[in-house]
Amino acid sequence: MNHWKKKAATTLIITITALYAGLSLAQQVVNVYSARHYDTDLVLYRDFEQQTGIKVNLIEAASDTLIERILNEGKYSPADILITVDAGRLYRAEQKGIFTPFRSEVLEARVPAHLRHPQGEWYGLSKRARVIIYNAKKGKPDGLNSYQDLANPKFRGQICVRSSSNIYNISLLAAMVGHMGEQAAEDWAKGVVTNLRRRPQGNDTANIRAVAAGECPLSIVNSYYIARLLANSDPIGKQVGIIYPNQESTGTHVNISGAGVLKYAPNRENAIRFLEYLTEQRAQSLFVEGNNEYPVVQNARVTEAVAGMGSFRDDEINASELGKNQAAAVRIFDRVGWN
């Protein structure tokens, strides 16, 4: 592209941005890029608009697609907020430098410290637990109370689980690296691989169905997959028993959906106000309803299916550690052959 074409393109971008800024002044807005796709989120956005008069403009896409779009838009991006799922993906966005840290007394009071970035780059909005399941008809296996127990030779040939490339498994192992160190975490992963019943495959729902059918004695899955089955009155939901691991030690591993304000947000104050709104009790209940997750705010209502699954104590390792230890977790998975 020659000098004049570059100059014309730059002028066009600046003109569009100026027009967009003018529209923003005429009407208060917040521009949300979200990797979530739930009807209950749309209800939330309408409720926020009615309460505040601030219009929510929404773009939905996969997390990596949105991150790449924000990077390509650069300082001309209209995006104010990125909402994404999994602490690992929040970490990827953080490492790309697209968030801007901010302090909010409201968010710091409502969101537990382990579910938000230490410097305020992002805040958790909902959480899910990574649980162990077993066939309910056969009963809970003796001596199975923790993730570490899954590496015990007594469970040889009993574990079915999805691929190590899945972000949920990467985050679980990343948490174990944070607690145990890389070598001990590798020893654990090697023990689990030794105890596999079959090559890692399928998604969490497929593994739930395999355990319910008696094809696999044990699996590791996210809590909301079970809650979805229960909410839809699928009998398979009641055919598996749930173990919330490590209740006597570190607590059960949790991961989050979360959001941060973007570096070039043109409506920064509206963005912060929107995130604060999402941590109100009613908003939390609606936010988690879409995916049968747990709220991050205490005493917010959960779905009947989630409530029926019981309560548990979180692992309180900071969610940012899940991102920082991602690379170590991937290396471990490769070394031990958890494909």
Do 151 and 247 reside in the same domain of the chain? yes
Query: Does 144 lie in the same domain as 94?
Result: no
Are 136 and 50 members of one domain? no
What share of the chain in percent tops pLDDT 70? 92
**pLDDT tens digits, one per residue of 253-267:** 999 999 999 999 999
- The verdict on residue 314 lying in a domain is no
C-alpha dist (Å) from residue 55 to 27, 37, 93: 8, 19, 25
pLDDT exceeds cutoff 80 at 6: no
Residue 308 placed within a domain = no
Question: Could you tell me if 81 and 140 lie in one domain?
Answer: no
pLDDT band at 27 (very low <50, low <70, confident <90, very high): confident
pLDDT at residue number 335:
98
| 309 confidence band (pLDDT: 50, 70, 90) | very high
CATH (domain of 286): 3.40.190.10
Task: Give the pLDDT of residue 241.
Answer: 98
Calculate mean pLDDT across residues 305-311.
95
For residues 8 and 314, the model is more confident at: 314
11 shares a domain with 159: no
Determine the average pLDDT of the residues in 87-104. 95
Position 223 in a domain? yes
Q: 299 and 185: one domain?
A: no
Asked if the model's pLDDT at residue 2 lies above 80, the reply is no
Residue 94 counted as domain residue: yes
pLDDT tens, 187-218? Answer: 999 999 999 999 999 999 999 999 999 999 99
Same domain, 186 and 323: yes
Region 78-89: what's the mean pLDDT? 95
State the average pLDDT over residues 110-130.
97
Looking at per-residue confidence, does 85 or 25 come out higher? 85
How does 249-283 read in b/e, with b if 16+ C-beta sit within 10 Å?
Answer: ebbbbbbbbbbbbbbbbbbbebbbbbbbbbbbeeb
User: Is residue 146 located within the same domain as residue 122?
Assistant: no
Q: Are residues 225 and 199 in the same domain?
A: yes
Judge whether residue 276 has pLDDT over 70.
yes
Statement to judge: residues 159 and 297 lie in one domain: no
What is the model's pLDDT at position 9?
Answer: 40
Q: Is 330's pLDDT higher than 60?
A: yes
- Count how many domains the chain has: 2
pLDDT at position 66: 97
Expressed as residue numbers, the domain containing 184 is: 128-253+319-336
Q: Stretch 14-26: mean pLDDT, rounded? A: 45
The answer as to whether 264 is a domain residue is yes
- 29 in any annotated domain: yes
Domain annotation covers residue 24: yes
Q: Which single residue is written with the structure tokens 């970490």?
A: 91
